[in-house]
Amino acid sequence: METPAWPGPRLPPPPWLLLLGLLGAALLPDACGRSHWLRYFTTGVTRPGPGLSEFTTVGYVDDVQFVRFDGNGGRGRMEPRTPWIRDNEGSEYWDWETQKMRTWAQSFRVNLQSALVYYNQSKEGSHSFQLMYGCQLREDNTTGKGYWQYGYDGRDYLALDKVTRSWTAADAGALNSKRKLEADRTIAEREKAYLDGQCIDALRRYLRFGGPSLIRTDPPEVEVTRHPGPDGEDVSLRCRALGFYPADIKFRWEREGEDVSQETEFVDTRPSGEGNFQKWASVNVPRGEEQKYVCVVEHEGLAQPLAVKWVPDASPPIAAIVGAVVVILLVTAAVVGFVIWKRKKSGLKRRQLHPSRL
């Protein structure tokens, strides 16, 4: 299996990248109040027929996507996804990243063909090969965790053990790739060196570029809503957190102080479309016991955990309002009708007492 590494064996790192890496530690802002991550997710997909049908790479600094590459039949280019990377990197950077991704697409094509052989699969159907890697910068500006791992058809395949410089195979099929990689010890050394060195340098540089947009903290807006269940006996309480950043957030439901999170349905954290995130968690409760439940939310933007209950709507139901309006209109119409009838009757009597002159 060919290993898509960065920098690749045929593409040495450009001098400007090494220079910026050396400057990174000195120019990194002091406002690193939390650890930061640089992560990349690369996926190759094949469908019946020759070649690689899809090849994409997305890069994230913390929870912000900042670059993306779409293969486009070998004509794709690495493109910016944030103003701060677009405005701070020149054409040499984008040419380098584009050439790297095109080289990786060729490796992924080979990897997919090899995996079909390892798992004794035909070329019919759709298959995918993934690479996920990243590095962490701790709060004290030191190197944290790093990972380099492969997946096949959405399952774990192979992972680098940075400590032993060895590879961990997820199943028998991946053992073939493990043996190939460990036959050349420089491969594991190269990936580890990238994670501990160039990846961290790039992360520091991107944090400088992104500035406040990356180190900001937006607290969530939390609300609890009530939804009737299908059987009429239970109801669902849904706790929603909106507009928060970073994406890391914790939910739990409590019933009279007791944690009932095991009965909770969680939805994955999702982008809100404005650079922030949203998430919700729901729990089924007996009708009439809604006030015994409280949703507790923890987030970096909150000084302390936020506890929120469902608040019944104090306003009367719409049906009651409509009924009251109808009654008022009917009463008003009856009064007006009675007044008009009385006036007509009084006028008739006056005409009888004072007939017109002939």
Residue ranges per domain, the chain? Answer: 36-215, 221-309
pLDDT of residue 261: 84
Q: Which residue in 181, 251, 247, 184 sits closest to 216, CA to CA? A: 247
Residue 22: half-sphere exposure toward Cβ, Cα within 13 Å: 4
Share of the chain above pLDDT 70, in %: 77
pLDDT of residue 193: 95
pLDDT tops 70 at residue 60: yes
Q: Which two tokens stand for residue 149?
A: 């791992």
**Looking at residues 272-293, what average pLDDT do you find?**
89
pLDDT of residue 296: 95
Classify domain 221-309 by CATH architecture.
Answer: Sandwich (2.60)
- Grade residue 356 by pLDDT with cuts at 50, 70 and 90: very low
**Looking at residues 225-250, what average pLDDT do you find?**
88
pLDDT of residue 163: 92
pLDDT of residue 24: 35
**Could you tell me the CATH superfamily of domain 36-215?**
MHC class I-like antigen recognition-like (3.30.500.10)
- Grade residue 8 by pLDDT with cuts at 50, 70 and 90: very low
- Is pLDDT larger for residue 9 or for residue 97? 97
pLDDT tops 90 at residue 50: no
Task: State the chain's mean pLDDT as an integer.
Answer: 81
Q: Which two tokens stand for residue 318?
A: 């719409």
**End-to-end CA, the chain:** 122
**Looking at residues 238-247, what average pLDDT do you find?**
93
| pLDDT tens sequence across 205-222 | 999 999 988 888 999 999
* DSSP label of 245: B
Q: Which two tokens stand for residue 352?
A: 């009888």
Helix (H, G, I), strand (E, B) or coil at 50: coil
Helix (H) or strand (E) holding 56: strand 54-61
- Grade residue 162 by pLDDT with cuts at 50, 70 and 90: very high
pLDDT of residue 140: 86
- Is pLDDT larger for residue 153 or for residue 15? 153
**Looking at residues 313-334, what average pLDDT do you find?**
58
Q: Which residue in 195, 79, 77 sits closest to 147, CA to CA? A: 195
CB 208 within 8 A of CB 293: no
Going from the C-alpha of 110 to that of each of 46, 106, 128, 170, 177, the distances in angstroms are 11, 7, 12, 20, 12
pLDDT of residue 250: 93
Max CA separation in the chain (angstroms): 131
| pLDDT tens sequence across 82-91 | 999 999 999 9
Q: Which residue in 184, 122, 192 sits closest to 163, CA to CA? A: 192
Going from the C-alpha of 18 to that of each of 92, 190, 195, 205, the distances in angstroms are 13, 16, 14, 11
| pLDDT tens sequence across 72-122 | 777 899 999 999 999 999 999 999 999 999 999 999 999 999 999 999 998
Say yes or no: do domains 36-215 and 221-309 share a fold. Answer: no
Residue burial 251-279, b: 16+ Cβ < 10 Å; e: rest: bbbbeeeeeeeeebeeeebeeeeeebbbb
Report the phi/psi class of residue 114: left, alpha or beta, with left for phi > 0 and alpha for psi in -120 to 50.
alpha
Radius of gyration of the chain (CA): 33
- Grade residue 65 by pLDDT with cuts at 50, 70 and 90: very high
Share of the chain above pLDDT 90, in %: 58
Type of residue found at 50: P
pLDDT tops 70 at residue 49: no
Going from the C-alpha of 111 to that of each of 78, 152, 229, 332, the distances in angstroms are 22, 10, 49, 82
| pLDDT tens sequence across 192-204 | 999 999 999 999 9
- Grade residue 52 by pLDDT with cuts at 50, 70 and 90: low
Helix (H) or strand (E) holding 319: helix 318-353
pLDDT tops 70 at residue 335: no
